[in-house]
Amino acid sequence: QLPERVVALYTNVVYADLAKMSGVTSSNLHDIALWTDTLRQSRNAVHHANDSTLCATWETTAALLMGTVPNVRALYAITQAARTTD
């Protein structure tokens, strides 16, 4: 899946400077990828009645959404660091 491929690229030694500049560790990015997958599964279970590996409720989804701000901030930090290395 895409989140795992992004983590694999980010942890490559070629992107070590990017990781340092952004301040986002590969561990942080891995956690964000897990959060992304879990949020997607929860959303699909609630809105599209798809099967999910977790017990998806409105409450679960709301709790996952509370992680949005720090996770999106980290993604923007990576994006900003990438733009400044051009």
Q: Over the stretch 23-61, which tens digit does the pLDDT of each residue have?
A: 999 899 999 988 888 888 777 766 666 665 667 677 877
pLDDT at 22 exceeding the cut of 90: yes
The count of other CB atoms within 10 Å of the CB of residue 8 is: 12
* pLDDT on residue 21: 93
The whole model's pTM is what? 0.74
Confidence label for 11 from pLDDT (cuts 50, 70 and 90) = confident
> What are the distances in angstroms from CA 16 to CA 7, 37, 45, 60, 70?
12, 25, 37, 35, 21
* pLDDT on residue 76: 94
